[in-house]
Amino acid sequence: MARDPGIVEMQEAERRLAATDFPSSIGAFVAERAAAMGDAPAAVWFETSETLSYADLHRRSDALAASLLARGIRKGAHVALMMPNGPEFVLSWFALAKLGAVLVPTNTAYTSSELDYLLNQSDAQALIVDASLLPALEGMAKRPSCLDDARVFVRGGGAPYVSLDEMLDEEREWKAPWPVVATDLASLQYTSGTTGFPKGCMLTHDYWLLLAFAAAVGMGSDKVKRSLLWAPFFYMDPQWQLLMTMQLGATAYVARRMSLSRFFDWVRDLEINYTYFPEAALKTLKPSPADKQMSLRYINAFGWSPASAKEAEERFGVVARDSFGMTEIGAGMMVPISATHKLDKRTCGIAAPFRETRVVREDGSLCANGEAGELHVRGRSILLGYYKRPDANADSFDGDWFRTGDLFIQDEDGYLSIVGRIKDMVRRSSENISAREVEAVLEEFDGVEEAAVVPVPDPLRKEEVKAYLKLKVGVDRNAFSLDHLFGHCRQRLAAFKVPRYVAFIDDYPRTPSHKIAKQKLIAATDDLRKDSYDRVEKIWHQA
């Protein structure tokens, strides 16, 4: 019986990676790529005509590392980075990696209360921030004790803080005062879960390098010379995508923010070979003979329907492949290029290099093929654990297996498909939104007795947030102000967490233990937008 070509391909990818001499750290990787690529462009911010060569990235991040060291930033220091997509983010990230400091990427949409939580929970000792985002810092209730003004480095600003621009201009000489190795902590990447507040995933230098190198091997590295990065750099995706691009010796073209209306112009005019392609973008451009003139060769088609993937491959002559990853594990599984026999199925693929997967029942026994169970993943350089969260660590690990909280089925060939989730989250674009966090804010509002948040399928953002509200006795729905409710949410939540849809309910379906049975709420209608107010369109969707 012939071996599955996709499994053979993935085994070969792992053999190639096993034979690779990995750099000792992200900083060592930057130095190696600079030596190999010199003045070739590494990253281009095409909307502002800013370019950094491989040599620039190395030299300027060296100098910034020396400037940070002169101001007391040492190996192991936790440094939050709150910056839009610009060269300063990348230079700061690489400078911190060379220092052996721990990067804490910070969402630029965070309110003061969210920033208050993150900076204190992460024990941030310094903050690198854009001047436009200072109001969130200055509105915090309590800064970490060591985060005084002398450790706030501001791009586009100065006193009473320290000017990051002046630090970048100092051009100090860098000499590493201590070694930084693959197993050292590189970042605390925060992600939401069922517990209500974001958790900091402790990720090593090897985590990031393995993820980037595996992605490069998985897509066929000889065909990618130009990549398009459009997600905010505080997410994990553009971080590994930039490292992957550098490993390929290619050039990353970086957008300030995503624009569906300009996406195809970017891909065409910049002659992009690789990007994460939003499924909704397919609908924004009608098919034409010019489609085949695109330079695209490979696209990440995360969560796409088989029909959409087939359409993209036929229209643009690309390889479109799904995969499954999480902040905690990096790449969990990939659909190999050669797995064309599986493209009529919605599958996330097979275990990625240096990953093992299993699907288990509640009692821990292995599921049969085709039986839904929780996906567990283990392997080289997954997260070390959640920072200062022993409760979450106890819940999330079964020995060295990480419990993803997602329900999967495995077919007879070993290919895995996601069918649902156990964790109570909404996945909107690249964000995991804790339902409990949003519910807690809603239940603080006057007149709300109880709230239940569920995901609503959305063609652009995968899911949107919907809240079912049970009002207190005596509160009139007709007099209840949704505008005031949304204003309350905006003061306490980042904009992407504010519910788009709101519906009123007399009472919820309940489990025997009186918990809200959200699956019954979801199953009760074929369209979760019905009988809901739409905050974006400002209308009630009728049944």
Is 166:186 a contact under the CB 8 Å cutoff? Answer: no
Both 402 and 432 in one domain: the answer is: no
Please give the mean pLDDT across all residues of the chain.
93
Among residues 181, 196, 230, the one where a domain terminates is 181
Where helices occur in 236-380 by DSSP H, the ranges are: 236-247, 260-269, 306-316
Tokens linked to 77:
């220091």
Rounded-to-integer distance, Cα 308 and Cα 305, Å: 5
Both 269 and 338 in one domain: the answer is: yes
Both 293 and 337 in one domain: the answer is: yes
Q: Which is nearest to 331 in space by CA: 354, 358, 301, 309?
A: 354
Q: List the beta bridge partners of residue 320.
A: 299
- The share of the chain scoring above pLDDT 70, in percent, equals 97
- Tokens 């923010």 label which residue? 257
The DSSP call for residue 20 is S
The pTM (predicted TM-score) of the whole model is 0.84
Both 243 and 380 in one domain: the answer is: yes
pLDDT band at 1 (very low <50, low <70, confident <90, very high): very low
* CATH label of the domain that carries residue 482: 3.30.300.30
What torsion do the CA atoms of 79, 82, 86, 92 make, to the nearest 10 degrees?
-10
* CATH label of the domain that carries residue 64: 3.40.50.980
> What's the domain range around 412?
207-421
Q: Is the pLDDT of residue 39 over 80?
A: yes
Instruction: Provide the residue type at 371 as one letter.
Output: E
Q: List the beta bridge partners of residue 362.
A: none
* Positions of E strands within 96-137: 102-105, 126-130
Q: What is the DSSP string of 380-439?
A: TT----BTT-HHHHHHHEETTEEEEEEEEEE-TTS-EEEEEESS-EEEETTEEEEHHHHH
Give the 3-state secondary structure of 278-309. Answer: CHHHHHHCCCCHHHHHCCCCEEECCCCCHHHH
Rounded-to-integer distance, Cα 404 and Cα 534, Å: 31
Q: 141-153 burial, b for 16+ CB within 10 Å, e for fewer?
A: eebbeebeeebbb
What H or E segment, with its residue span, contains residue 93?
Answer: helix 87-99
What are the backbone angles phi and psi of residue 234, rounded to the nearest 5°?
-75, -10
pLDDT tens, position by position, 283-305? 778 888 888 889 999 999 988 88
pLDDT band at 515 (very low <50, low <70, confident <90, very high): confident
Rounded-to-integer distance, Cα 270 and Cα 259, Å: 15
Residue 197 in domain: no
Tally of domains in the chain:
3
Both 309 and 376 in one domain: the answer is: yes
Residue 493 — left, alpha, or beta (φ > 0 → left; ψ -120 to 50 → alpha)?
beta
Both 376 and 279 in one domain: the answer is: yes
pLDDT band at 512 (very low <50, low <70, confident <90, very high): low
pLDDT score for 196: 60
Is 455:466 a contact under the CB 8 Å cutoff? Answer: yes
Rounded-to-integer distance, Cα 467 and Cα 482, Å: 12
pLDDT tens, position by position, 58-69? 999 999 999 999
CA angle, residues 315, 230, 169, in degrees to nearest 5: 145
pLDDT tens, position by position, 192-221? 755 567 899 999 999 999 999 999 998 766
Give me the sign of the Cα torsion angle 398, 400, 405, 406. negative
* Residues whose CB is less than 8 angstroms from the CB of residue 234 and which lie 6 or more positions away in sequence, other chains included: 81, 82, 83, 105, 106, 107, 108
pLDDT tens, position by position, 157-180? 889 999 999 999 999 999 999 999
Rounded-to-integer distance, Cα 493 and Cα 498, Å: 7
Rounded-to-integer distance, Cα 375 and Cα 525, Å: 28
What are the backbone angles phi and psi of residue 229, rounded to the nearest 5°?
-115, 125
Tokens linked to 245:
């691009």
pLDDT score for 272: 97
Provide the CB-side half-sphere exposure for 488 (13 A, CA): 16
What value does the mean pLDDT take over residues 503-528?
84
pLDDT tens, position by position, 313-322? 999 999 999 9
pLDDT tens, position by position, 85-134? 999 999 999 999 999 999 999 999 999 999 999 999 999 999 999 999 99
Rounded-to-integer distance, Cα 345 and Cα 69, Å: 52
Report in angstroms the alpha-carbon separations of 68 from 6, 90, 167, 234, 404. 46, 15, 8, 20, 37
Both 318 and 372 in one domain: the answer is: yes
Q: List the beta bridge partners of residue 467.
A: 453, 502
Give the 3-state secondary structure of 143-158. Answer: CCCCCCHHHEEEECCC
Rounded-to-integer distance, Cα 436 and Cα 424, Å: 8
Three-state DSSP state, 359:
strand
pLDDT score for 2: 57
Tokens linked to 74:
């040492």
Both 416 and 444 in one domain: the answer is: no
Both 463 and 438 in one domain: the answer is: yes
Among residues 368, 389, 421, the one where a domain terminates is 421
Residue 396 in domain: yes
DSSP 3-state percent helix, strand, coil across the chain (nearest 5): 35, 25, 40
251 alpha carbon, distance to own chain's centre = 21
Residue 516 in domain: yes
What value does the mean pLDDT take over residues 261-270?
93
Both 365 and 272 in one domain: the answer is: yes
Both 435 and 306 in one domain: the answer is: no
* CATH label of the domain that carries residue 231: 3.40.50.12780
Both 441 and 513 in one domain: the answer is: yes
Among residues 404, 421, 438, the one where a domain terminates is 421
